Structure 1
């Protein structure tokens, strides 16, 4: 018993729980995030460093430290989805899936874990889920596959996202039987979330959006992406995450109410704890909210036990408990940002609020650049303007509306008008892009280096010599990284994996010029009623921003098909484009004109025919068409150019007759050729391939596409002619890198 007392006393020495938290976080990174020997080596060094500090400084707490490590190790192994889905009964909760008339998708639970799923529901299942009932599927005919990973640089990796939730498989359900089930306590929890979601969708648009974000921690509207983009671009997206800010407001309001009703401090703590626990359940455990609630719970309990910890150790203890609850916690960028933000605040708590904002933004910038590739240098000022609006307008109006909506509908209309004015003002700021810097994606080791130097700057900011060294190091590091991204030593020709479509990026080295050939886009089918976001928001724009590309010098448009130019309109809305190059006659196509209406000036458009040349950094020669058309496949703009003394040829969806014209009028030997029409049998005839004699050809086509591209006859033709090929279906984006006489190919999927 005396030994235990000594351990507890030593565990109260400043720094113990914070260092243990750092050690457990390092172990979790080693377990879940290490993808290479470099990762293992660097993270291993951090594990040894924190272990050394703990053993050296807290010699009498080795047993307590060992207990933490053992318990956390057990939790780590428990968090691994050990079993694959093998036909067990699947439980579907109504708040865990999206239900549209012809499809159900979301998360399901089975005996040994969770899966993502998709299937066509019967009318009975639609009715059950729409009523908030739990559904059990059994006797299932299914296909299991890994969750789709990213196929392009900068693209969101959904495999990693779902892995952070302990989900590794997608189950495509083809046939099944089902029953609905009676309610247990956990079923009631899911039913409550579902009913709140349904209730919020009856609100006016903005009130519905904010209610979903602030209570459920999710966007329940399909048409509010612009609001999210506005808040993200201004650097205030944290306001839409249920976080410590909201916990502080909730506890203050409840405390005032308890004081008014003369409720004791202990009773108030219980009431507030219950309300916060309910909030955790409703928001499905958002990391920032859970962190702040845990800090409140632990602080209150330790205070009652007279076990006083300083603020840093209380944060460390919070992180330890949070990790024991969710070992995958720090696979979530929201959790990383939340904890680093609070840790930074502990270091600079003596500064003014404005200076705190500046210093915290400095601390968060490396993580923002790694995950979002951009930063707004005026974020501090936008926070000063928008935080009061959010705290004193958005939140009160949203919560008042939640309680009064059914009784006073006219009040909701007034609230909606107020919010419309506020959001319109925010939108006007966001559309200017003032302060926005498209920096590019930095590497993991650059993030680590910048974080360490930034923390050194915060810690040593009162020591002039170390402060100057930190400032010089930070400025030099950011400058060198920015230059390396924006003035690359290599140019590229990259086939962006846009699924069933074409989009090719061409850039030059050093003083970079950037061009696209087509933009890709989804083909719409009348039978599908599912709302679609433009692909460019998920693929092309992140791909460009990750490379620091904030404008395009030109876009070459082959023809009017949606899988080639369907995303042109949204792309023009999101990024500056200097020129649009297209075959003469395309402007007479009414469907195409609708895509660009109000988005470009006449001076930006250049119509081309065979024999024309575009000479801006790269010499693009037009080899087809010879006469104006309407932008159909047979009118496809065909372009050839040379980089690093290698000739490329792109022919869009040109048919074999058009290829023969090129072969007759401008015969050429090419090194690299994009196979016509996604490898369809209507393009790239054997005769044409013999004329151009490509060393390598490329196929841009979607996985499991309904057209069955590339055609087997076409592939047999390539085999017969001994022409090797690479396909985005198999390799994701395919890049040719060149510069200073050297070149090589690389694919995103190895």
Structure 2
């Protein structure tokens, strides 16, 4: 590193980051890493630089403390009536209205949810409801949903980073109770929605979704499959507005103004005025704000006949954003934007010096971006795209150099002339690129699932990633840095697979069952049931494009966070949707060596998708047993081959981690009586049958099994009233300690040898 080029931005940012993390009580390993980096910079600094660092630390400590002290809602959440203003995108998907942000009269942001009752009401809202409209509504305020499974995306914390603490669920949304606002404050939001509507009107799909994403930062449209392909390739960032997009658009506008005879000074003034507006039009996400602040800082310096380096502009943007909202540090988009940009800016001199061609330049940028993003990608997504550098070489030029200018030109011309023919040609080309993305994403080597590292390991990963840049700088050989990263990733996968710790986790899948068992040293990975939702027929207007899926949105991400790429046994206790409905979705991403189902249940409708996977499926039967390491498993029921429902659930007894376990599926009282008549049975842990329904868990059964712990898997405020009051009383009278997924989230027993500990995602009250 050249000290004259890099000392200034590092001196500004690293101490700032350390101060903010300390005040916000960030994880200790990350704080220590930042403090060590700040200490090294302080030792290398001159006296005047040390004074600057101390002043920055003091400023950040004070401002962050002020933010932290006021980081709560001004409302109690008990209010019944609200006056809200629509300030952000308004989307109607199926029968649901979802506004990204609405504001109260105090300016506090809220999320709004509303379920439309009729198709006529939907059409009326689509036509009349607009950004800037102020409405009086009756709504229930509730905190956003927290994470309910280990390592899961925490929606509550995410909204809190932007100062949103409540979700409003409206009972009614009457247009007669709404008025249009003439405030200039809402003009950017109105223009943004009008622009997106224009794109949807004149461009075909998927071009319209791509144009909305590239020009105005709206990624709510588009195919879910295409988005998944781009995520697997590690190139989903090119569908978001980034620094490259802002630079290209700014450069294009500057060039046009110069060609029209506008002076450079006046052009810079126009751009400085336009950048804040474009930032709002583009959705004001952290990458957009960062890019606009950097560009604005460089233009402002140039207008005063000063040359501001990109590294200094980036530091200014970082400090400005942290001063405004220090909690944005915890957003993945913020982290990726700054980490990757800092790495590339600080390495730009070496990259330009060593790149002998445009291809080499693109290759260096792609590889170094991946190395810099490594800690963030592993923590938030638990996987890494191995062909991301190659995919970037193919797709970044296509989107940035070809599609972005073309879409901008077509969009502007669409207001004065038809653009259907060139739009159709561009759409055909885009479809071909999406097909290429689908092909590449399906390659076996496309993605490496690493598992989610703990904070201490993450700090080590960040340190090694930084060391890779130093290694490349000093040796000039990128292959050495790649080798280090390769050994690091292999080590992470190995440690995750062959950990001496095992676990049994009762996942929170709402009203359903799913239990994950992982034995130490990769001796066995089992999944008992997958949860799932009962499909209800809806009218066409009520169907949503992107609806929640237990398999894709809960089970698969959890398994990836555990580093699981293949399940040894998927055990489906019986053919109910709330136990097997998500199995086909899970198997699309995480295959199983074998799938074991209840005898005779293969002909039931819910099993059709499972049989179509082509994976080995067989029936389990009472008496079958197997051992793995120190663990023992045995199916106890059913004994016959005729499937009749809940009482033909596969009942599994296991000895794991020094504890005995009884997993009962939806076994009801008749099946329970058969079980205790057939076996002299006791278990430390009981998966309470049928979600705590009163048709299960009879007193005789509980007394016979005599469990110490009982786990009830039930959905929050489920329609069935599970668990039933009588069942809870029966368990309590027997001295059973009860865990409930509706109250505790996922329940995990982690063990080493015969010793273990119990943890819940939602702390016990």
Whether the TM-score (by the shorter chain) exceeds 0.5 is yes
1:102 is displaced (CA, Å) by 4.4
- Distance of 1:627 and 1:397 partners within structure 2: 66
Structure 1: distance between partners of 2:93 and 2:387: 40
Q: What is residue 3 of structure 1 aligned with on the other side?
A: none
Q: 1:136 to 1:271 in 2, by over 3 A?
A: closer
**Structure 2 counterpart SS, 1:348:** helix
Give the aligned partner of residue 208 of structure 1: 208
Indicate the larger mover: 301-310 or 281-290. Answer: 301-310
Counterpart residue number, 1:598: 612
Who is 1:673 aligned against?
Answer: 686
- Residue 339 to residue 606, structure 1, CA distance change in 2 (3 Å): same
Contact 1:155–1:538 under 8 Å retained in 2: no
* 1:113 match: 108
Corresponding residue for 1:441? 452
Change (3 A) 1:15 1:72: farther
Identify unmatched segments of 5+ residues in structure 2: 356-360
- Are 1:532 and 2:547 counterparts? yes
Partner-residue secondary structure (3-state), 1:183: coil
Q: Summarize the Cα distance change of 1:251–1:373 in structure 2 as closer, same or farther, 3 Å threshold.
A: same
> For the Cα contact (< 8 Å) 1:551–1:575, is it kept in 2?
yes
Pick aligned residue for 1:609 from 621, 624, 641: 621
| 1:651-695, Cα deviation, whole Å (9 max, x unpaired) | 211221122122222331122110000000011211122222222
TM-score by length of 2: 0.87
2:749 alignment partner in structure 1: 736
Query: d(CA) in 1 for partners of 2:72 and 2:733?
Result: 45
Q: Does 1:331 align with 2:330?
A: yes
Give the conservation status (yes or no) of the 8 Å contact 1:108–1:115. yes
Give a deviation string over 1:166-186, Cα, whole Å, max 9, x none. Answer: 112223344687322332112
Mapped partners of 1:556, 1:162: distance in 2: 37
1:389 to 2:398 alignment: yes
Question: What do you get for the CA RMSD once the two structures are aligned?
Answer: 3.3
Structure 1 residues 307 and 287: alpha-carbon distance in aligned structure 2, compared to 1, 3 A threshold: same
Q: In the TM superposition, what are the counterparts of 1:89-104 in structure 2 within 5 Å?
A: 89-93=82-86, 95-100=88-93, 102-104=95-97
**One of 142, 149, 153 as aligned partner of 1:152:** 149
Contact 2:596–2:617 (Cα < 8 Å) also in 1: yes
State the SS of the aligned residue for 2:521.
Answer: coil
Aligned length: 733
What does the per-residue CA deviation read over 1:430-462, in whole Å, with 9 as the maximum and x for residues that have no partner?
A: 012424210111123333333233323323544
SS in 2 for 1:340: helix
- Residue 576, structure 1, aligned to residue 586, structure 2: no
Cα shift at 1:466: 13
Would the aligned equivalents of 2:33 and 2:459 in 1 still touch at CA under 8 Å?
A: no
User: 1:563 aligned to 2:574?
Assistant: no
d(CA) in 2 for partners of 1:63 and 1:654? 65
In 2, are the aligned partners of 1:486 and 1:512 still within 8 Å (CA)? Answer: no
Q: How does 1:461-500 map to 2 (within 5 A)?
A: 461-463=472-474, 478-500=489-511
Change (3 A) 1:360 1:323: same
Flag structure 1 segments of 5+ consecutive residues without an equivalent: 1-11
CA distance in 1, matches of 2:92, 2:474: 59
What corresponds to 2:651 in structure 1? Answer: 638
Partner of 2:261: 262
Partner of 2:358: none
CA distance in 1, matches of 2:399, 2:483: 37
Cα shift readout 1:214-240 (whole Å, capped 9, x = no counterpart): 12323232x622222111111112211
In 2, the alpha carbon distance for the partners of 1:132 and 1:525 equals 29
Cα separation, 2, equivalents of 1:182 and 1:465: 59
Determine the C-alpha separation between the residues in 1 that align with 2:500 and 2:299: 56
1: distance between equivalents of 2:505 and 2:51?
58
Structure 1 residue 64 displacement after superposition = 7.0
| 1:627 and 2:626 are equivalent in the alignment | no
Select which of 161, 171, 182 maps to 1:164.
161
SS in 2 for 1:389: helix
**Distance of 1:264 and 1:606 partners within structure 2:** 76
Distance 1:17 1:436, change over 3 A: closer
Contact 1:197 1:220 in 2 (8 A): no
CA distance in 1, matches of 2:695, 2:552: 31
Map Cα deviations across residues 22-69 of structure 1 (whole Å, 9 max, x no partner): 33233332333x256666666666677767777834367589758955
Which residue in the other structure is 1:8 paired with? none
